[in-house]
Amino acid sequence: MIKSKINLPATKNGTPDWEWMEKYMKSLHHKPIRTKNSENQSLIIVNNWKEFYLHKLFKTSMGNGIDAIATTNDNPKYNYVSRDSNGNGVVGFVDEVEGQNPFPAGAMSLALGGSFLGSCFIQKEPFYTAQNVGILQEKEQLSIHTKLFISTLIRNECKIKYQAFGRELNSHFRKDFTIKLPVLMDGNDYVYDKSKKYSEKGYIPDWKYMENYIKTLPYGDRI
C-alpha cells in the first residue's frame, strides 16, 4: 500500500480538494427522495397490478448472435453484449462487423439462457450481441427509470418460471412471457384503452408510477 496511488479531485494548486469531496458526499441522497407524487411509493402494493405480454410492451427480437471468435478489436467501435450478469452484460469492445447492424443505445438486452438466464440490462451505447441474447426495444419513448423498473421485474419473473438449461427463454420471450405491472387508475376505477394497445383487456401501464418509484429509491437521483 505504501506504493499505491489513487486519483482525487484537486485544486488549482494541486492539493486534494477536500471541500469538493465533502460537498459531493453530502449531495448523495442516501434516503428516499420524497416528491408530491411519491409519498407512499416506498411501499409497493401489487393488488391492482395487471399482467402484460412482453411483446405487447416492446419490440422483441433476437440479437446478432455473433460468436466472440468472429470479432476483432483493432479499431473497436461497438460494445459486445453476452449472457453475463456483470457490467451491463458488456464483455468486450469490438470492431464493426460487416453485414451486421448494431442495436441502438437505450435498447435492452436479455439473456435467454445459460447460468445468468433473465439478466436484463439497458444498454447505454450501440452494441452487438453474442448468441442467445434477446433484444427489447421500446415502442414509445420510456425513461431509463421506467426501463429499470421493468428489467428488475423481468429478472424476478425468470427466477420463478424459467430454468437455465431446461425451460429457457428462447421460445417464450416473443410469445407468452408475461409480467405484472402497475396500471393507470382513476380513483378506484381502471383506465381502459379501447384500442387495446398494451393488453387484450385494455389495461394501460402506469409508466409514470414506475419512473417515480425508481427515482425515490436511495441514490435514484444518480442514475
Is 86 part of a structural domain of the chain? yes
Is 12 part of a structural domain of the chain? no
Is 189 part of a structural domain of the chain? yes
Is 16 part of a structural domain of the chain? no
pLDDT digits (tens, 9 = 90+) for 171-203: 899 999 999 999 999 999 999 999 999 999 999
- Average pLDDT on 2-8 reads 92
Is 118 part of a structural domain of the chain? yes
Q: Kindly report which listed range (132-146, 168-182, 208-222) carries the lowest average pLDDT score.
A: 208-222
Residues 6 or more apart whose Cβ sits within 8 Å of residue 179: 51, 52, 54, 150, 153, 154, 157
H or E stretch covering 190? strand 189-190
Report the C-alpha gap between 215 and 38 in whole angstroms: 9
Is 75 part of a structural domain of the chain? yes
Is 207 part of a structural domain of the chain? yes
Is 5 part of a structural domain of the chain? no
| Statement: the pTM of the whole predicted model exceeds 0.75 | yes
Domain count, the chain: 1
pLDDT digits (tens, 9 = 90+) for 99-138: 999 999 999 999 999 889 999 999 999 999 999 999 999 9
Identify the pLDDT of residue 44.
Answer: 77
Identify the pLDDT of residue 140.
Answer: 95
Burial class (CB in 10 A: 0-12, 13-18, 19+), 58: buried
Q: What CATH number does residue 57 fall under?
A: 3.90.220.20
Domain extent at residue 63: 43-222
